Each structure stands twice: as C-alpha cells, then as structure tokens.
Structure 1
C-alpha cells in the first residue's frame, strides 16, 4: 500500500525499485497517511514509510522493520526567507523548528533522520 504516483515518496520508491530491478506489487494507492496506515492495520497490505511517519505509531499494533539494503533516503529541507526578509515571528519559528529538529535527531526520536549543514 503506497501513495499515488504523484507523491514524492512513491517516486523515490519507484526509482529505487527500477535501479535495483525490484518488483513491488502495489495493491492500493492511498495518499492520506492516516487512511493508508489504517489499511495496513486492517491487514490489507504493508507499506514503506519514513521514520517520521511511523514514530508516533503504536508499535504493538504493527511490526516495523528498517530497510537497509537498498538504502532508501529522501532529503527534506527547512526553507525560509533570508533573515532580513523574515518577520520576527517567522525568524522565531525557524529558530524553534531548527532546535526541535536537532533535539529529535540527537535523542534518536526521529528514526532515520540525519542532519546536514547547508
């Protein structure tokens, strides 16, 4: 069970499968994460999701297995206006988001996430 083809996660999965000559049978395409995970809980199939999508799940209800080969990664970026164009509230929000991201990664609470300096 995966998001539809227009979704970035699905595009990444399709590219990795093609690169490694893997065949994945998509039994359903569901774009809403809550509905997709409900379908998995109901036994309709399995899914591949980033760590952030599964970090809040009840792990007793689902079996979560890390995928290490092939490596599946997808960069995400915190993007904002430059400092001189941001409002004080916007700058404060960026500072808080950066701090929270660092804390989550450093504490191991954001599975699969790695921070890079840009």
Structure 2
C-alpha cells in the first residue's frame, strides 16, 4: 500500500493521474444545500458540472474537490453558466438520437411480431 501511495504522489507531482483533491466541507455543504433547495439529484448535479455521478458522490462523501471541479462548482453555485456549451449539447442530442434509434428498432421488432401473430391466426 505504501508503494502505491508513493507512486500516486509521484504521478501527481509530474502531472499524471488524478488531480490532487483539497478538502472543503463548506463547499460540499453548499452543494448539498443547492440540491435540497432545487430538488436536484447527484445525477443532475453531475450533468450540470460535466462529470459522472460517481464523481459527485465522491466529492460529497469526502468533502474534497480537484481544482477544476472546485472552479466548476463555485461557478454553478454563484449562478454562473451551467456548463452547457455547444459540445455538451451536441453530446446530449447524439445520446437522445441513439436512444430514439434503439426505441425505433424495438418498435419495428414488436410490429413485425404482431403482424406474424396476426397472419398465423388467419
């Protein structure tokens, strides 16, 4: 375990691996307050910050933020832009299109099954 910690410290010191996280219980409490006040889930906050739900969960349970995540969180809490730039909107629209394609394929398969059943009954 000690060797792994030394390796992580070395990697972080030369810019590899995860960014160092600094504890900030006050900022974590502010995020929790925002979630309560606006009825947001961790998934909602993750989407607004452009991170995964797991990242938000870690940030809240450990009260620790990387520099980048701290900046994003502070901007969100101050009422700044919710980080929806053109790239994020494009990614969202592509996910929705992919889901629509999946649903359309499922609907076509069900329609084919229904037609087959109808033909067999005649």
The answer to whether TM tops 0.5 is no
Higher relative contact order (CA 8 A, sep 6+): 1
TM-score (norm 2): 0.24
Q: Looking at secondary structure, tell me which structure has more strand per residue.
A: 2
Q: Looking at secondary structure, tell me which structure has more helix per residue.
A: 2
Higher-Rg structure is 2
TM-score (norm 1): 0.24
